[in-house]
Structure 1
Amino acid sequence: MQKTERLVAITVLLQARGKMTAQRLSNILGVSTRTIYRDIITLSLAHVPVSMEYGPGGGYYLPDDYHLESAIFTREEAISLILSADISGNHNLFAGDTDLHHALVKLEAVLPEEYRIDVMAAREHILVDTSAWCNKTQEPTHLETIRAAVLNSYQLDVLFSDTSCCQVHPGAGMLWRRIEPHGLVFKGLSRRHARVGRWYLVAFCQRCRSFHTLRVSDIEQVYVHEETITPRPNFDLHDYWREARKQLEKLKPPIIFKLHVKAVARYSTLHGDVTILKEEPDGSAIVQVNAESMDDAISYALGLGADATVLDPPHVRMAVAQTAQAITKIYS
């Protein structure tokens, strides 16, 4: 979301929901609280009458008689903002949270007539289908519960593999931990279909007194406590994830392999992180593919069927061959 879109979204949220804290706004818009503070200053300089109430139950708010002026954004920005909400549909973290959608409906209602005509035309001629073929993306079982705990700053008891806390309790398998959830991160994967990825929970473990990154799909059970988390003013989710991602990449380096791909597959089914290394006269090519794991590499190669052959490295070629043989044995 660009800054102008974010400024409009903050104004719409305050108008639709009333008083909101900087932390709540940052959680919804996916930015740091420092960014929200800067945005509030920008809105004030633009004569948007944002006020602040301090103390428990406080937050930013707009006067009851204030109405959003559409003149603070351009025709293109208005269309982009409205269509972004349409594109996101129910495929986002806030699928059960309709207030932002309702707020954007209100925004569309106050657009100038010529803007609304352009939005209608864009909806008629621009379509983004984010669903996979013949499949419905399944969210991790406990994602909605964890999302609510993150936004309400509630502590959690979670049952998960001990890989994140191995320095405290090695080899314990599945274990319970009391954690303080501080953020959720969606990490996209290299796939043919859009919106494929994994959710990660960034949380402070009360036992080992440090932050950890947990894959949401690895969490077996969740229990929500009404006890709130301890505020940690120096924590910034974006800064944390930047470093955590580096560590995750070190622990799980990508699988790099080469394929000979026939022309028909090269132009129709190649996807993801692919580099063309050599083009052949018949239209085929030698390509390099980066996959996130061996399973991903096998799935990628087999997904191309007989139109692609793994050339290198030998262990990837062997893994693909063994999987193909196992499939043949099942169906023979």
Structure 2
Amino acid sequence: MQKTERLVAITLLLQARGKMTAKRLSDILGVSIRTIYRDIITLSLAHVPVSMEYGPGGGYYLPEDYHLESAIFTREEAISLILSADIAGNYNLFAGDTDLHRALVKLEAVLPEEYQADVRTAREHILVDTSAWCNATTEPTHLETVRAAVLGSYQLDILYPGSSCDRFASAGILWRRIEPYGLVFKGLSRRHARIGRWYLVAFCQCCQSFHTFRVIDIEQVYVRTESIVPRPDFDLHAYWREARKQIEKQQPPISLKLRVTANARYSPLHGDVSILKEEPDGSAIVQVNVESLDDAISYALGLGADATVLEPQQVRATVASTAHAIAKMYS
């Protein structure tokens, strides 16, 4: 959760639920109490009238007649906030909390007209798909640049593996000129975290067809001054329904066998996990079904010293070499 989103969440929580302690806020938002203290100071500096009542039953609260002002947001913050609200039903902070949903709807209603127009544009071109895949996630380097091009309707030159295009399948990594029509965030199933993978849907001028690009695989990107050619018959939601089927077919699942410590076993292991054998010391042999080799490697590395890869051998070797490289770097 970004700071701006967290500040709004604190304000909405205090509006919807009344008095709340820093400890309660930190538990809900998944941050430290010290971070909550800093956020309260930031809200006060932004003229949000947060008050504090000390003693038993005390906590932070807002005046009953206070309404969150849209003027405290920049255009970018408003768009990010409302898009976050669109996926709130699948996030533990907002799930099932109708008071918070109503507060977010009211906030959107009082945004300036020019902000609302940008929000409508963002909703047309940025799709959030929260059905779970068991993929790893990494923040793409060029995400902000790509997002700005999508919303601004500018063409892009991207350095990207040619394997995504039938015409250049054997050409390795090459420059391609594309017309970006939408971004899709494919959500993953992991408790208390919103993680996933960004995909760019674009018309490729090289092969004159639409393609789905993984943003994380874009090596370099250059925003051009030319605008994209409007294609009023293109529907991002309809395209993604079909594209997702193809992506799932192209990524045969991999069974990852791990020996996990008791600490890892009794913490929430995300994904499709089966316990194969329990050990007397609380550890266990588990099988995790993931989407690809890269995801298997990322999954194992994410567990750190709490997991030992048993199979496949290729994953075991890659994780071992990566661990050695990390150790060498820090030594």
> TM-score scaled by structure 1?
0.51
> Is the 1:155–1:229 Cα contact (8 Å) retained in structure 2?
no
Question: What SS class does the counterpart of residue 266 from structure 2 fall into?
Answer: helix
Q: 1:1-332 maps to which residues of 2 (within 5 A)?
A: 77-82=98-103, 99=115, 140-141=141-142, 143-152=143-152, 154-161=153-160, 162-167=162-167, 170-171=170-171, 173-177=173-177, 179-189=178-188, 194-217=193-216, 218=218, 220-233=220-233, 235-268=234-267, 270-327=269-326
> Is the 2:190–2:270 Cα contact (8 Å) retained in structure 1?
yes
Match of 2:7 in 1: none
| 2-structure distance, mates of 1:175, 1:229 | 20
Question: What SS class does the counterpart of residue 201 from structure 1 fall into?
Answer: strand
Name structure 1 gaps, 5 residues minimum. Answer: 1-15, 17-24, 31-74, 87-96, 104-136
- Per-residue CA distance 1:118-165 (angstroms, 9 max, x = gap): xxxxxxxxxxxxxxxxxxx85533x3443344335x340312223333
What code does the residue aligned with 1:164 have? S
Identity of aligned residues (%): 58
Question: What SS class does the counterpart of residue 268 from structure 1 fall into?
Answer: coil
> Are residues 281 and 157 of structure 1, via their aligned partners in 2, closer, same or farther at CA, if it must alter by over 3 Å?
closer
Match of 2:3 in 1: none
- Per-residue CA distance 1:247-305 (angstroms, 9 max, x = gap): 22333334321122232221136334423334445433322123344344334334444
| 2-structure distance, mates of 1:221, 1:213 | 16
> Is the 2:255–2:288 Cα contact (8 Å) retained in structure 1?
yes
State the Cα distance separating 1:320 from its structure 2 match: 3.2
> Is the 1:186–1:197 Cα contact (8 Å) retained in structure 2?
yes
> Are residues 139 and 165 of structure 1, via their aligned partners in 2, closer, same or farther at CA, if it must alter by over 3 Å?
closer
> Is the 2:155–2:228 Cα contact (8 Å) retained in structure 1?
no
> Are residues 297 and 230 of structure 1, via their aligned partners in 2, closer, same or farther at CA, if it must alter by over 3 Å?
same
> Aligned pairs, how many?
215
> Is the 2:176–2:205 Cα contact (8 Å) retained in structure 1?
no
State the Cα distance separating 1:98 from its structure 2 match: 9.8
- Per-residue CA distance 1:207-237 (angstroms, 9 max, x = gap): 322111122230512324454423242x322
Question: What SS class does the counterpart of residue 167 from structure 1 fall into?
Answer: helix
| 2-structure distance, mates of 1:140, 1:148 | 13
Question: What SS class does the counterpart of residue 315 from structure 1 fall into?
Answer: helix
> Is the 1:181–1:229 Cα contact (8 Å) retained in structure 2?
no
Q: CA RMSD in A?
A: 4.1
> Are residues 330 and 185 of structure 1, via their aligned partners in 2, closer, same or farther at CA, if it must alter by over 3 Å?
closer
| 2-structure distance, mates of 1:304, 1:76 | 32
State the Cα distance separating 1:173 from its structure 2 match: 3.0
> Is the 1:192–1:272 Cα contact (8 Å) retained in structure 2?
no
Match of 2:45 in 1: none
Question: What SS class does the counterpart of residue 240 from structure 2 fall into?
Answer: helix
What code does the residue aligned with 2:213 have? L
Question: What SS class does the counterpart of residue 297 from structure 2 fall into?
Answer: helix
| 2-structure distance, mates of 1:308, 1:166 | 39
Name structure 2 gaps, 5 residues minimum. Answer: 1-69, 71-78, 85-95, 108-112, 120-137
Match of 2:56 in 1: none
State the Cα distance separating 1:306 from its structure 2 match: 4.4
| 2-structure distance, mates of 1:254, 1:84 | 39
- Per-residue CA distance 1:71-101 (angstroms, 9 max, x = gap): xxxx963422436999xxxxxxxxxx9936x
